[in-house]
């Protein structure tokens, strides 16, 4: 389970969410929206791509809501969903530990400046600058988190 402190209280983050999505089929592709999550929209050229994009959109949207400490609404019941003739309701699930890990461990590019002589020695010794910087930052900050 994933826990986080929010305003002095221990809050449990859910590991899995399942939301109904409305898939609208048109000549130029499939648009997807999550009625319970305004602004969570995506599309795809075919059903497989639309479902993959829906999972990605749902995960990113929910991650942003968690990060911003927004209230995450309960999903609507399928029987409450209304569709038009070109639409279908699909349940989309997302496993949040994977989403959180991918977002929090993505590489971030940093530009830094070092003296030329130090760069020359490091390059001659085939130093991996990113690895050394990560290690030094972890030591400096006293953290051992995400040590991939």
Domain ranges, ordered by start, for the chain: 12-104, 107-148
Query: Right CATH number for 12-104 from 3.40.50.300, 3.40.50.2300, 3.30.160.250, 3.40.50.740?
Result: 3.30.160.250
Percent of residues, the chain, with pLDDT higher than 70: 89
Residue 84 and residue 4: Cα distance in Å, rounded?
Answer: 41
Residue 118 and residue 9: Cα distance in Å, rounded?
Answer: 48
Express each pLDDT in 111-129 by its tens digit.
Answer: 889 999 999 999 999 999 9
pLDDT at 147: 44
Regarding pTM above 0.75, the answer is no
Following CA atoms 118, 123, 129, 133 in sequence, which dihedral angle do they give, to the nearest 10 degrees?
-30
Residue 127 and residue 143: Cα distance in Å, rounded?
Answer: 22
Express each pLDDT in 45-97 by its tens digit.
Answer: 999 999 999 999 999 999 999 999 899 999 999 999 999 999 999 999 999 99
Residue 124 and residue 58: Cα distance in Å, rounded?
Answer: 46
């Amino acid at each position: 389970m994933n826990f986080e402190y929010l305003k002095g209280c221990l809050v449990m983050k859910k590991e899995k969410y399942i939301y109904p999505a409305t898939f609208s089929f048109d000549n130029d592709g499939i648009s997807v929206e999550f009625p319970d999550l305004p602004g969570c929209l995506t599309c795809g050229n075919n059903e497989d791509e639309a479902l993959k994009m829906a999972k990605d959109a749902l995960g990113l949207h929910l991650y942003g809501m968690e990060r911003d400490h927004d209230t995450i609404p309960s999903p609507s019941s399928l029987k409450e969903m209304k569709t038009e003739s070109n639409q279908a309701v699909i349940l989309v699930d997302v496993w949040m530990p994977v989403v959180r890990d991918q977002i929090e461990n993505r590489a971030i590019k940093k530009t830094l400046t070092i003296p030329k002589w130090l760069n020359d020695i490091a390059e001659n010794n085939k130093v991996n600058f990113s690895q050394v910087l990560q290690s030094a930052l972890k030591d400096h900050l006293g953290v051992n988190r995400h040590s991939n």
